[in-house]
Amino acid sequence: MTAFIRTPPATLPVTPAAPLLRVENLKCAFDVSRPFLNRVLERQPRRFLKAVDGVSFEIARGETFALVGESGCGKSTVARLIVGLYESTDGRIVFDGQDVGQIRSGAQMQALRRRFQMIFQDPYASLNPRWRVDRIIAEPIRVFRLIDDSTAIQARVAALLTLVGLSPADGHKFPHEFSGGQRQRICIARALANNPEFLVCDEPTSALDVSVQAQILNLMKDLQDELGLTYLFISHDLAVVRHMANRIGVMYLGRIVEIAASRSLFEDPRHPYTRMLLATIPDISMTGTREETVRGEVPNPITPPPGCTFHPRCPLANERCKREAPALAEVSPGQFAACHAIGEGRAHGGAIQR
């Protein structure tokens, strides 16, 4: 797929003083307890699934920050927490200096919501099959009352369809009349209808063919350059992330284990889990060599392992890893990792020390 995608973006400097989005110690737990009567009769306590467990990161204006990890690591939950589809258990989400959790006014929240949108993984499931495309794209314009005149709304919809590579005549069709890539273009047009600054992209190309993925990714890069957009990009495809993101956060079992610039992460990964993920990328130049693969299964998030949650699968784990959860710390300029082995000097450079 990388042959179809344009040159990777240059690493952007992060401005800690004024990020567009700041997430601080974000947590989200879902109650998965059995019914009350069952718990009383069987004397069982309530059980909680920690989908997100203390996630913190910042995104600068105009930057693409990606979250990657295996299925079930919590990256999509983070996306839904940011846009308000889920309610956080703890932590803060600060957008352009405003603490979203402290906003009580409906009008103020609506004004803030106009500034960000979300692109979902399945383009067909996120489109109303009974509405024509022009009505789907016009809905955010009407909800936020950006334009009142019907003729002006239709002109805006036609312009958005053209912007994403479709024809204004396509507005009269239904979603089922389009291919997967075309439906994702419609989703992008709808997301841009209210002139947002920030887009949360939850695996926007995972349901598409490889060649169509490249077209959508190139479209998103062009729109970012043209409109000055900021992206939170959620994906499990490391090849896609490498070409889209300026910085990358690697998640494991609800926590971020490493954050680094895209180039640094791929050239010098520090956390053992990151190295294992990168080892799964096919590379014809490495034919005949042995690479460390991702071993075992992700533990149950309802009863996660104590200490570092990665220690049951980590080749560098020791007794401290089983007792004490590591904190995210700077291990090189601009690169952060949560690993006792790095701090104790048991992991060096690009190879894992046995």
pLDDT in tens, 96-127: 999 998 888 888 888 888 999 999 988 888 89
In a 3-state reduction of DSSP, which class is residue 202?
A: strand
Give yes or no for a contact between 196 and 141, defined as CB atoms under 8 angstroms apart. Answer: no
Chain-centre distance for alpha carbon 235: 6
The mean per-residue pLDDT over the stretch 122-135 comes to: 92
Residue 263 pLDDT = 93
Distance, in Å, from the CA atom of 315 to the CA atom of 269, rounded to the nearest integer, reads 15
**Which whole-number Å values give the CA distances from 187 to 47, 136, 155, in the listed order?**
37, 9, 18
Distance, in Å, from the CA atom of 338 to the CA atom of 340, rounded to the nearest integer, reads 7
Residue 289 pLDDT = 53
Distance, in Å, from the CA atom of 61 to the CA atom of 14, rounded to the nearest integer, reads 9
Digit-coded pLDDT (tens) for 78-103:
999 999 999 999 999 999 999 998 88
Distance, in Å, from the CA atom of 227 to the CA atom of 31, rounded to the nearest integer, reads 40
Distance, in Å, from the CA atom of 143 to the CA atom of 149, rounded to the nearest integer, reads 13
What pTM was estimated for this model as a whole?
0.87
**What backbone torsions phi and psi does residue 322 show, to the nearest 5 degrees?**
-80, -20
Digit-coded pLDDT (tens) for 142-162:
999 899 899 999 999 999 999
Spell out the domains of the chain, with CATH numbers in brackets: 21-102+232-343 (3.40.50.300)
Digit-coded pLDDT (tens) for 197-252:
999 999 998 878 888 888 899 999 999 999 999 999 999 888 889 889 999 999 99
5: pLDDT strictly greater than 60: no
Two structure tokens written together for 259? 């954050």
Between helix 150-163 and helix 133-143 the angle, nearest 10°, is 120
Rg (CA), the chain: 22
Q: Which residues contact 255 (CB under 8 A, 6 or more apart)?
A: 53, 54, 55, 74, 309, 338
State the amino acid at position 216 in one-letter form.
I
Distance, in Å, from the CA atom of 104 to the CA atom of 102, rounded to the nearest integer, reads 6
290: pLDDT strictly greater than 80: no
Give yes or no for a contact between 304 and 292, defined as CB atoms under 8 angstroms apart. Answer: no
Q: How confident is the model at residue 172 (pLDDT cuts 50, 70, 90)?
A: very high
